[in-house]
Amino acid sequence: MGTITYHKPVGVKAVDAIKAELGAEWCSNKLVAATATREAVFVVSKHHEPNSEVYVPGADGFVKALSVFKLSLAPKSHYNFGYKDMAETMGPYGCEAPLSIIAEASPLRDGPEGDEYSSLKSAREYRERSKAMAEVKALKRGLKVGDVVELKEPLSFGGVMRQRFTVNRCRVRGNKGESTVFRAEDGTLCRISARYLIGARIIKSSREQ
């Protein structure tokens, strides 16, 4: 399914906009939990699937499945809000779920995953990426000024490949308060999203040792 776009009134949260799209009756009957990040809205809903090949059903035959609504935002356009809805069994990349919402979903089945592109395999990989993302976000929050970060692989910033940075804090346009930034060895200040810190080597500042 492609991306659906429409106008969202100012002040309406992304979670509430998605709930409105799902409908009050659907939410009343199926909604278990919902939350959001900058990238996506995550919805756990219950369905009667006693023979599910992906989830472990409860004693009543119901499973709690996780859906991901990848957001597409265009604040200056009339059609300022959009989403593409996917099941976690599609292994959506780039919008990994918080562990708190995964905990609301049914556990995945054990045993063989079937063929190379099975839904169970995709769901397992998605949850593994979500766990890794949660860990690296915690790592980023724990960085202190003066820590040195060496990325697993170099990244291009303005066409220049850089890999080693020193952590700094400063005000960034569009953000409240100070933000964590990364000063390259040539002095350039860079912003690095958490996903690029996976596998990075962290050298703690001598002030903390």
* pLDDT string in tens for the chain (209-residue length): 689 999 999 999 999 999 999 999 999 999 999 999 999 999 999 999 999 999 999 999 999 999 999 999 998 999 999 999 999 999 999 899 999 999 999 999 997 665 667 899 999 999 999 999 999 999 999 999 999 999 999 999 989 999 999 999 887 776 677 889 999 999 999 999 998 999 899 998 865 54
Residues contacting 1, CB < 8 A, separation 6+: 84, 85
The helices-and-strands tally (H runs, E runs) of the chain is: 4, 10
pLDDT value of position 171? 78
d(CA 178, CA 168): 10
pLDDT value of position 40? 97
d(CA 168, CA 162): 16
Pairing, β 62-73 against β 160-171: unpaired
pLDDT value of position 111? 72
What would the pLDDT profile of 1-41 be if each residue is shown by its tens digit? 689 999 999 999 999 999 999 999 999 999 999 999 999 99
d(CA 58, CA 64): 9
| 61, 106 contact by CB (below 8 A) | no
Distance of CA 2 to the CA centre of its chain: 19
Residues contacting 81, CB < 8 A, separation 6+: 5, 6, 7, 8, 14, 17, 71, 72, 73, 74
For residue 65, the surrounding DSSP H or E stretch is strand 62-73
| 64, 52 contact by CB (below 8 A) | no
